[in-house]
Structure 1
Amino acid sequence: MDFESLKNEYGLPMVVASALYRNGARVADLKLEEVRYEAARDGAFFWIGLHEPSEAVLERVRNEFGLHPLAIEDAHKAHQRAKLDVYGDAIFLVVRTAQLSHPGIVYGETHVFVGKGYVITVRHGPSSSYGEVRRRCESDPRMLRHGEDYILYALLDFVADHYFPVIDSIVDEVSEIESHIVDQCFTGQEIDRLYQLRRELNVFRRRVSPMLEVCRRLERLELPMIDPEVHPYYRDVQDHVMQVNESIDSLRDALASAYEAAMMISAARQNEVMKRLAGWAAILAFPTAIAGIYGMNFENMPELRWHYGYFTVLTAIAGVCGYLFYRFRKAGWI
C-alpha cells in the first residue's frame, strides 16, 4: 500500500514525514512502507510524523515497531488527557496543544511514541506542524546525536512555548478590561467577556496542568532511550509549564477581582439611579398628595371658596418642592 498517498479528513497527507537519522544527521527520507526497524542500529533512529492517520497506517507502524495495542488504540481515538504511559522499554505520551485562533483558543492533541530507535508523533486536531521542530533539531547535530530523548524534549518545549502567546493575549485583554474598571466606564459586553475569559482559563488550565506531572515523570524515568544528561532539559520544560500554570492562577484571581469590581460598580450605579428616582418621587409626592386631597369632591371644604386659596396652595407646593429639591441636591441624591 502506498501510505504516502493517503489523505485525512482535512485533505492533508497522513504521513507528514518519515526519515532515518544517524550521528546527528538526516540519512534518508523513506516511505512508510520502506521503513524497517532493523535499520535503527548503531545509534540510528527513525522519526516519523503522522497527522490523523487511519487504522491501516497505525497498524503498519505498530507491526514494524512493536508498539503496544492499548497505546495504538489511544492514538487512534484521540480526546485523551495529557499523560505518560510506560510499556516495557518504551513510553507513550499524550500532550495537549493550544494556540490562538479567532474568536478564542483552539486545542489539539499529540501522541508520541518513543523507544530505542524511533520517535513517532501522531497529531490530532488543529495543532501546529512539527516541521519547525525537525528543522531546529537538524540544525544542531551535536544535540541531535543524543537521539530520541532530545527530540522528545524539543517536541515538549515547542508545545510549551506555544502556551505563552495564549497567556499573553489573555493578559492584554484583562489589562484593558481592568483599565475600564478604573475609569468606571464598564459595559455589559465587557462583563460578559469577563465571564467568558474565566471559563476559557478554566478549560486552559485543565488542558495544561497535567503536563506538569508528565514532565516530572520524564525527569525521573530511567529508560534506555533517555540519557540522564538530557534530564535537565525536561526540567526546563517543566519550569515553563509551571510558569504557565502560575500565570493562569494569577489571571483567574485578576478576573475574579475584576468581576467582583464590575458587580460592585454596577450595584453602585443602580444605587445612584435609585437615589435619584427616590428623590424625585419624594418631591412629586407632596403636590400629588395635595391634589389628591382637593380631588375628593367633599361639599364641606370651606377653603375652596376662599379668594386666595388657589394661589396659596400653589405657593405652598412650590415652596415645599423647592426646599426638598435643595435638600436632596445637597445630599447628592439629585
Structure 2
Amino acid sequence: HYVFGVFLVPIAIREEDRVFYQEVDIIAARERLLTVRKTPEGGHPFDLEPARESVTKEADATVGLMVYRLADLIAEYFLDLVDALDDEIDELEDGIEHWSAAQIRSRISALRHDLLHVRRTVAPTRDAIRRIVDRRIDIGEGEELLPREIELDFADVYDKLLRAVDGLDLSRDLLASARDYHQAKIANDQNEVTKRLTVIASVLLVPTFIVGLYGQNFKHIPELGWSFGYWWSWGWIVVTTAMQLAFFRWLGWIGGEPLGRPKLPPLGRLDPRTLAGRRRRA
C-alpha cells in the first residue's frame, strides 16, 4: 500500500519576468519515499535540499515526516511566489506614470494570467492538505504512514496555503486598482488634450471673426476709410487673445495649476495615544 500525490509548484524567475510550473510526484510507502520531478523546458529542477537537510536533523526521520517537510517546502514556494507577484505589482504601479500604454497593458495581462494560474494551482493543493489534517488520507491496515502528530504538523502547511490564497486575493485587488488607475490616467490625459484643443480653437475663433468681419465686401463699412482701421483690428485681436489666455491660465487649462484656488490642508497625523477611548468620549 502507498500514497500517491501530485504537486504543481509555481516558481518565479524575476530576472526573466516569468513563472513556470514544476511538477513533483510523490509515492510514499511505510519505509520509502519516492519523488519524481518533471522539469519543463527552460526551467530548472525543483530543489529538495532544504527538505532533506531539515529531515536529517531529526532523530526519528520517518516517511511521514519527509512528506510533511516536502509539503511545507512547497507551501513556502507559494508564499515566495505571492511576494514576488506583489513586487511585480508595486513595480507596475510605479511605472504607470512613465511606461507606455501598450507596455502597461501587456504587464497587466501577464500578471492577471499568472494570478489565475497560481490560484488554480494552490486551491487543489490546499484541499489535499486539508484531507490529511482531517485524517482522510492514509494507507490501509497496519502502522500509520501519517501519525496524528504528523497530521497536526500538516495544519501549519494548511495555514501557509491559506495565507497564500489570501495573498493572491489581495494581489488581485491590487492589480485591479492599478488597472483602474491606469484607465483613469488615460481618461485624465484625454481631458487634458481636449482642454488644450479647446484653448487653441477658442483663441483662434475671435481673431477669425474679426478678420472675417472686416473682410466683407461692402462699401459702407465705417472703418473702411479710417487711417487707423488696420491697427484698430489688430488691437482687438491682441486684446481679446490676451484676455482669453489670461482666463484659461486662471482656470488652469494652460500653464500649470489653477490660480486663486485655496490649497488643501495637509493630512493630520493620527496619534495612537489620542485614539484610545475616542468613541466613549463621543
Q: TM-score, normalised by structure 1?
A: 0.65
Q: Which amino acid aligns with 1:315?
A: G
* Equivalent residue for 1:137, pick from 45, 55, 59: 55
Q: Residues 164, 222 of structure 1: CA spacing in aligned structure 2 closer, same or farther, 3 A cutoff?
A: closer
Q: Following TM superposition, by how much is the alpha carbon of 1:321 offset from its aligned partner in structure 2, in angstroms?
A: 1.2
- What does the per-residue CA deviation read over 1:198-228, in whole Å, with 9 as the maximum and x for residues that have no partner? 2221222112221110101112225232212
- What does the per-residue CA deviation read over 1:223-257, in whole Å, with 9 as the maximum and x for residues that have no partner? 23221221111111111111111111111101111
* Equivalent residue for 2:9, pick from 97, 106, 111: 97
Give the Cα separation in 1 of the matches to 2:182 and 2:89: 13
The aligned counterpart of 2:248 is 328
Q: Following TM superposition, by how much is the alpha carbon of 1:301 offset from its aligned partner in structure 2, in angstroms?
A: 5.9
- What does the per-residue CA deviation read over 1:64-112, in whole Å, with 9 as the maximum and x for residues that have no partner? xxxxxxxxxxxxxxxxxxxxxxxxx432211111222222211111111
Please tell me whether the aligned partners of residues 92 and 107 of structure 2 are also in contact (alpha carbons under 8 angstroms): no
The aligned counterpart of 2:261 is none
Q: Residues 219, 293 of structure 1: CA spacing in aligned structure 2 closer, same or farther, 3 A cutoff?
A: same
Q: In structure 2, the residue corresponding to 1:94 is in which secondary structure?
A: strand
The aligned counterpart of 1:159 is 74
The aligned counterpart of 1:312 is 232
The aligned counterpart of 1:266 is 186
- What does the per-residue CA deviation read over 1:110-150, in whole Å, with 9 as the maximum and x for residues that have no partner? 111223333221111244132442233123132x1xx2221
Q: Which amino acid aligns with 2:57?
A: S
Give the Cα separation in 1 of the matches to 2:232 and 2:7: 85
Q: Which amino acid aligns with 1:150?
A: L
Give the Cα separation in 2 of the matches to 1:330 and 1:222: 73
Count, aligned residues: 240
Give the Cα separation in 1 of the matches to 2:155 and 2:37: 24
Please tell me whether the aligned partners of residues 186 and 262 of structure 1 are also in contact (alpha carbons under 8 angstroms): no
Please tell me whether the aligned partners of residues 94 and 109 of structure 1 are also in contact (alpha carbons under 8 angstroms): yes
Q: Which amino acid aligns with 1:317?
A: I
Give the Cα separation in 1 of the matches to 2:115 and 2:137: 34
Q: Which amino acid aligns with 2:124?
A: P
CA RMSD of aligned residues (A): 2.3
The aligned counterpart of 2:203 is 283
The aligned counterpart of 2:157 is 237
Question: How do 1:11-50 and structure 2 match up within 5 A?
Answer: none
* Equivalent residue for 1:169, pick from 84, 89, 111: 84
Q: Following TM superposition, by how much is the alpha carbon of 1:168 offset from its aligned partner in structure 2, in angstroms?
A: 1.8
* Equivalent residue for 2:23, pick from 97, 109, 115: 109
Tell me, yes or no, if structure 1 residue 246 matches structure 2 residue 166: yes
Q: In structure 2, the residue corresponding to 1:162 is in which secondary structure?
A: helix
Give the Cα separation in 1 of the matches to 2:64 and 2:215: 95
**Identical aligned residues as a percent:** 28
Give the Cα separation in 1 of the matches to 2:238 and 2:253: 19
Q: Which has the higher strand share?
A: 1
Please tell me whether the aligned partners of residues 113 and 119 of structure 1 are also in contact (alpha carbons under 8 angstroms): yes
Please tell me whether the aligned partners of residues 79 and 163 of structure 2 are also in contact (alpha carbons under 8 angstroms): no
Please tell me whether the aligned partners of residues 68 and 153 of structure 2 are also in contact (alpha carbons under 8 angstroms): yes
Give the Cα separation in 1 of the matches to 2:238 and 2:191: 28
Q: Following TM superposition, by how much is the alpha carbon of 1:180 offset from its aligned partner in structure 2, in angstroms?
A: 5.8
Q: In structure 1, the residue corresponding to 2:84 is in which secondary structure?
A: helix
Q: Residues 192, 293 of structure 1: CA spacing in aligned structure 2 closer, same or farther, 3 A cutoff?
A: farther
**Structure 1, gaps ≥5 residues long:** 1-88
* Equivalent residue for 2:132, pick from 218, 225, 238: 218
Q: TM-score, normalised by structure 2?
A: 0.76
Query: Higher mean Cα deviation, 131-140 or 242-251?
Result: 131-140
Q: Residues 312, 133 of structure 1: CA spacing in aligned structure 2 closer, same or farther, 3 A cutoff?
A: same
Please tell me whether the aligned partners of residues 131 and 137 of structure 2 are also in contact (alpha carbons under 8 angstroms): no
* Equivalent residue for 1:194, pick from 84, 98, 108: 108
The aligned counterpart of 1:5 is none
Give the Cα separation in 2 of the matches to 1:111 and 1:301: 99
**Structure 2, gaps ≥5 residues long:** 139-143, 255-282
